[in-house]
Structure 1
Amino acid sequence: MTTEATPVAGTGSPAQFTHRQIMVTMSGLVIAMLLAMLDNMIVAPALPTIVGDLGGLSHLAWVTTGYVLASTASTPIWGKLGDLFGRRITFISSVVVFLAGSALAGMSQNMGELIAFRAMQGLGAGGLMVGVLSIVGEMIPPRERSKYMGLMMAVMPVAMIGGPLAGGFITDNFSWRWAFYVNLPLGAIALVVCWFTLAKLPRGTGRAKIDWLGAGLLTVWITSLVLITSWGGTEYDWSSPTIIGLVVLTLAAFVAFVVVQRRVAEPIMPLRVFTNLNFNLSGGLAFISGFAMFGAVTFLPQFQQFVQGSSATNSGLLLMPMMIAAMAVSLASGTIIGKTGHYKVFPIVGSTLIALSLGLFATIDVDTTKTTTAFYMVLLGAGMGCLMQTSTLIAQNSIELRDIGAGTGASTFLRNMGSSLGVSLLGALYTSSLTDSLSGGGAALPGEANQMTPAVLKALPPQAQHVFQTAVTDGVTTLFTVAGCVAAVGIVVALFIKQVPLRGRATAEEVVVAEV
C-alpha cells in the first residue's frame, strides 16, 4: 500500500509529499547548495593571493561584487522562469551556467577576466539559491518547512568548515586557480543527482511570455546603483558628471521598471507580493543583514592574513567559530519554529547579535588576538543562524503558493542586493581608508600596494610591515563601523514583524489520495 498525493486544481495548496520523497529530493538540493556555499567559502581565503598575483587592489571588491551583482540581478529572473517552465529544468540550467563560469574563472589571466567570469558564476548562483528555496517551498508547507530547512543547514559542515580550509590549503599548496576548478567534480555529481531526484516536480505551463524588458531594466538600475557606491568618492568625485549621470540613470530605470511591472501580464517581479507588510519587513531585514554580514565578512581575511599573520589555510580555520555557530543556531531555531510555530523572537535576537558583533569588530587594532576575534565571530555566526532561514520562511508564509517562485526570488533578490551594495560600498571605504593611511604612514613600501601579498609583506622590514598592517586595520575598522550602524537599523525593522500563524498541510478535502 503506497500513497501519492497531488494538489486539487484551484486550491493553491502544495502537493503532499511523503517524508521519504522529501528526503530523496532534498539529497540533490543539498549537493547543489553545497556547490554554491563552497564557492563562497573557498574563494574568500584565496582573495589576498589572487589580488596580489593579478595586481589589482583597487579592483578587490569587484571580484566579489561582480559575482553578487550578477546573482542579484538574475535571482528574480530564475524564480520567474521556474514558475513558468518548472523548477527542474531551470534549476539544472543554473548549475550548468555556474560550472561554466567556474571553469573560465580558473583560467583568468587578469583582473578584468576574473571579474567577468565571476559574474558568470554569479549568474548561475542566482538560480541555485532561489531554485533550492523555491523547490522546498513548493514541496513542504511552512509549518513543517522549518525543520527540513534546519536539517539542510545541519548537513552544511562540509561547506561551512571544509570550504575555508580547502580554500586556504589550495592557495598555500597549489594554485589559487583550483579554488574555482574544485567546483567542477562536485557540480557534475549535483547535475546527475538533481536530474533524477527532481523528475517528479510539477512542470510549468511555459505558455506565458517572459518579461525581458523588465529584466533588462532591473539589471540596468541595479548595476548603476552598485557603480555609484563603488566609484563615488574614489574613482570619481560625488559631484562629477559620471556619478550624477549614474544617479539619473538609476532613478529613470527604476521608475520605468515599476511602470513595466504594473502593466505586463507576467512581471518578472510581481509587485503584489509587496502588498504584505510582513513580506516587506522580512525583505528589508534580508537586505540589511546581507549588507552588513556579506560586506563585512568579505574583508575579514585581509585582517587575518596581513595583520594577524595567518596563512590562507589558517585564515580558513579562523572562520570556523562563525560557521559552526551559524550552523548550530540555524538547526536549533528551525527545530523550535517547527515545534512551536513561533518565529518573531529570532529576527530580533539575530539582528541584535549581528549589530553587537560588528560593533565589537570595529574596535580591533593591530594587537587584537585571534581569540578575541574568534569570540566576535561566534556572536556574528549566531546572529546569522537566527536570520538565515527565518527571513525566507516569513517571506514565503506571506505570499500565495502561485507566487512562491517570484516571491522567493524577490526576497533573495533583496538579500543579494544588500550584499552587492555592502561589498561595493564597504570595499570602496576599505580601499580609500587603506590608501589614505599608507600615504601618511611615513615609510616607503617597495612596489605598489595593489601588488601586496602576505608573502611579500613578511619579507619587508618591520617598520614597513607595521605601516601596512596599520593601514589594513584602519580600513577594516572603518567598514565594520559602517556595517554595524546599518545592522542596528535591522533591530528596528525586526521589532515590527508580526507573528502570523504558519500554514500547515492541506486538509483531506483538498488532497486526492491514490491508493495502489
Structure 2
Amino acid sequence: MTHREILEALTGLLLAMFVAMLSSTVVSNALPAIVTDLDGSQTGYTWVVVATMLTMTATTPIWGKLADLFSKKLLVQVALVIYSLGSVVAALAPSMEVLIGARAFQGLGVGGLTALVQVVIASMVPPRDRGRYSGYIGAVFATATVSGPLIGGLVVDSALGWRGTFIIGIPVAAIAFVVLQKTLHLPTIKRDVKIDYDGATLIMGGISLLLIWVSLAGSSFGWVSTASAALVVGALVLIGAALWVESRVDEPVIPLRLFRDRTTALATLASVMIGVAMFGATVYLSQYFQLARGMSPTEAGLMSVAMVGGLLVSSILSGRVISATGLWKRWLVGGMVLVIAGIALLGTIDSTTSLVVVGAYMAITGVGLGATMQNLVLAVQNSTAPEDLGAASSVVAMFRSIGGSAGIAALGAVLAHQVTAKVTDGVAALVQSGKVSPEQVAEMQHSTGDIPDLAALPSPIRALYEASFGEAVGHLFLSAVPFAILAFVCILFIKEVPLRTTLGPTVAETELEAGSR
C-alpha cells in the first residue's frame, strides 16, 4: 500500500480506536446520574465500569488469534457492530442489571477494536515505518482520554441525559465501518482454520475470576476471606488448565512459544506493571480534582489536558524519530524514567498543592507514557513472526489491561480505606471540639465508598474531606512507584534489535544487527 492508501485506511482504524477509547471515558461523569436514575447501589456503580473491562480484557487474545485466521477487515467491522449493538441496549436499559449486561456485551467489541487496530497496522506497514503511525494511535488515545469526560459532562447536562453518552459513539462507529469498507484492502491468507475453543473458554474463565476478585475484594468481601480464596483458587486452576491445553493444541489462542522470545516475555511483564502504575494511579486524578479541589466534572476534565498534552506530543515525536532511525529502546528507557519521576512527584501532592505544580507533574508523566506505551508493542511486533503477529500484539494489550484492572481495584481499596479512616477520626475530633453537632453528622451518614455531595456538607466536614482525599491520593501515587520501577527494570533487559524494513518473516538477530543502518 502507498503512503496515501495507508493514511486513508488509517482514518477508519483511528475512528474505530477513538470509539473504543471513548466508550470507557465518556461514561465516567454520567455514573452518578445513572446510579440515581436506575436505583443502583455502590456495587452496581463499580460493575458498570468493570463489566466492560472484564469482557474486553478476557477476549483480547481471542480477537488477536482470530486475526491470524480470518479477514482482519471483516473482524474490525464485526467488532464495530458488536460495540454499536451493546451501545443501543445500554442507552435503552430499564435497570442496572440490563445496563451491566449491555456494557459486558459492549466490551466484547471494544476488546476486538483494541486488539485489531494494532494488528491491522502491523499488517500494512513494516516495523521500521510503523513508529510514525503508532504515534497517530497515541494521539487518538490522548484525544479520546481528554475529550471523553468533557463530552460526557456536556451530554449528561443536555436534553439527552446520561443515555446520550452511549449513543454518541454509534455515528462514529458507522463512519469507521464505511471508511474501512472503502479503503482497507488486505489479502486474506487462506489456510485450515482450527480454533481452540477449550483454551479460549478456560482463558476467559480464569481471567474473569481474577478480575472479579480484584474488583470486588475490599468492598463486597475481604481481601482475606473465603470468597477471596475461592476466586483465587478457581482462577489459578482455570489458568493452569488453559496452559496445559495451550501447550498441546495445533492452533493455541496464546502460543506459549511466544514467551521463549526474551523481548516478548519482558515486554509482557513490563506491560502488567505499566498497567498498574498508569491506570491504577491516574484514573483517580479526576476524583482528586473534584473531591479534593472542589472542581466540576468539566473543570476536572480540562485539568487532564496537561497529562494528555504531554502524551500526545511524545507519542507522535517518538514515533517519527523511531521510524527515521530504526532505534527504539532509548525511548522506552527514557520514557520510563519520566514515568517514575512523574508518579513520584505526584506522590507529594495534597489538597493545597498549586494547580500549576500538579499540572507540571502530570505533563512529565504524560510525556513518559507517550514514549513508552505504543513503542513497547512495536518492539514485540518487530521480533514476532507474521503468523503470530495478532496473538503477540493482543497478549501485550491484554496483560496491560489486566495490570490496569488490578491496579484500579487494589489502589482504589487503599484510597477508600485511607479516606474513611481520616474522615472518621477527623469528624470525631470536630464533634468533640464543638465545631460540628452530632445531628449534622447523623444527617450526612452514607455508605462506605459513596461519593459525597461536597456542597451539601457542613463547611468544617467539607474541608476535612477535601484534605483527607488530597493526602490519600498522594499516598496512592507513591504506592504505584514500585510497579513503575519494575517495568523500568524489565525494559532495561530487553535487547534492542533494529526495526525491520519488510513485512516478511523475521530473521536472526545477528543478521539484523549486521545489516542495520
Fold equivalence (TM over 0.5): yes
- The partner residue of 2:323 within 338, 343, 346 is 338
Residue 469 of structure 1 aligns with which residue?
Answer: 466
- State how 1:78-227 maps to structure 2 within 5 Å: 78-109=63-94, 111-154=96-139, 158-174=143-159, 175-198=161-184, 200-205=185-190, 207-227=192-212
- The partner residue of 1:484 within 473, 481, 486 is 481
Deviation, 1:112, is 4.3
Q: Deviations over 1:463-490 (max 9, x none)?
A: 2212332343354234322222211211
- The partner residue of 2:366 within 357, 372, 381 is 381
- State how 1:4-403 maps to structure 2 within 5 Å: 17-47=1-31, 50=34, 56-58=41-43, 60-109=45-94, 111-154=96-139, 158-174=143-159, 175-198=161-184, 200-205=185-190, 207-403=192-388
Deviation, 1:49, is 5.0
Q: Deviations over 1:203-254 (max 9, x none)?
A: 2537322111111111121122223323444433344222222221122111
Q: Distance in 1 between matches of 2:451 and 2:156?
A: 12
Seen in structure 2, the aligned counterparts of structure 1 residues 375 and 440 have a Cα distance that, compared at 3 Å, is same
What is the TM-score of this pair, normalised by structure 1?
Answer: 0.88
Q: Deviations over 1:251-298 (max 9, x none)?
A: 211110101001111111111111100111111222211121112222
User: Which stretch of the first structure deviates more once superposed, 267-276 or 39-48?
Assistant: 39-48
Contact 1:170–1:178 (Cα < 8 Å) also in 2: yes
Letter in 2 for 1:322: M
Deviation, 1:192, is 1.5
Q: Tell me the SS of whatever aligns to 1:500.
A: coil
Seen in structure 2, the aligned counterparts of structure 1 residues 414 and 158 have a Cα distance that, compared at 3 Å, is closer
Deviating above 6 A after TM superposition, structure 1's stretches of 4 or more consecutive aligned residues are none
Seen in structure 2, the aligned counterparts of structure 1 residues 477 and 65 have a Cα distance that, compared at 3 Å, is farther
Q: Tell me the SS of whatever aligns to 1:119.
A: helix
Seen in structure 2, the aligned counterparts of structure 1 residues 101 and 431 have a Cα distance that, compared at 3 Å, is farther
Structure 2: where are the runs of 5+ without partners? 428-435, 505-517
User: Which stretch of the first structure deviates more once superposed, 56-65 or 482-491?
Assistant: 56-65
Residue 409 of structure 2 aligns with which residue?
Answer: 424
Seen in structure 2, the aligned counterparts of structure 1 residues 153 and 228 have a Cα distance that, compared at 3 Å, is closer
Contact 1:281–1:496 (Cα < 8 Å) also in 2: yes
Q: Deviations over 1:443-477 (max 9, x none)?
A: 625252569667x3213220221233234335423
Contact 1:62–1:424 (Cα < 8 Å) also in 2: no
Contact 1:437–1:474 (Cα < 8 Å) also in 2: no
The alignment-based identity, stated in percent, is 36
Q: Deviations over 1:69-107 (max 9, x none)?
A: 211111011111121111011111111111222223334
Deviation, 1:22, is 1.2
User: Which stretch of the first structure deviates more once superposed, 210-219 or 234-243?
Assistant: 234-243
Q: Distance in 2 between matches of 1:350 and 1:180?
A: 34
Q: Which has the higher contact order (CA 8 A, sep 6+)?
A: 1
Q: Distance in 2 between matches of 1:258 and 1:156?
A: 32
Letter in 2 for 1:192: V
User: Which stretch of the first structure deviates more once superposed, 218-227 or 323-332?
Assistant: 218-227
Seen in structure 2, the aligned counterparts of structure 1 residues 145 and 168 have a Cα distance that, compared at 3 Å, is same
Q: Distance in 2 between matches of 1:398 and 1:504?
A: 12
Seen in structure 2, the aligned counterparts of structure 1 residues 432 and 58 have a Cα distance that, compared at 3 Å, is farther
What is the TM-score of this pair, normalised by structure 2?
Answer: 0.88
Seen in structure 2, the aligned counterparts of structure 1 residues 120 and 437 have a Cα distance that, compared at 3 Å, is farther
Contact 2:420–2:448 (Cα < 8 Å) also in 1: no
Contact 2:333–2:491 (Cα < 8 Å) also in 1: yes
Q: Distance in 1 between matches of 2:95 and 2:339?
A: 35
Letter in 1 for 2:470: T
Residue 431 of structure 2 aligns with which residue?
Answer: none
Deviation, 1:20, is 2.3
Q: Distance in 2 between matches of 1:489 and 1:265?
A: 34
Q: Distance in 2 between matches of 1:433 and 1:91?
A: 43
Letter in 2 for 1:465: R
Q: Tell me the SS of whatever aligns to 1:134.
A: helix
Letter in 2 for 1:181: I
Contact 2:206–2:234 (Cα < 8 Å) also in 1: yes
Contact 1:171–1:313 (Cα < 8 Å) also in 2: no
Q: Tell me the SS of whatever aligns to 1:304.
A: helix
Q: Distance in 2 between matches of 1:375 and 1:398?
A: 36
Q: Distance in 1 between matches of 2:48 and 2:407?
A: 13
Contact 2:128–2:500 (Cα < 8 Å) also in 1: yes
Structure 1: where are the runs of 5+ without partners? 1-16, 508-516
Q: Deviations over 1:88-133 (max 9, x none)?
A: 1111111111122222333445554443332222211110011110
Q: Distance in 2 between matches of 1:395 and 1:301?
A: 32
Q: Distance in 2 between matches of 1:431 and 1:109?
A: 30
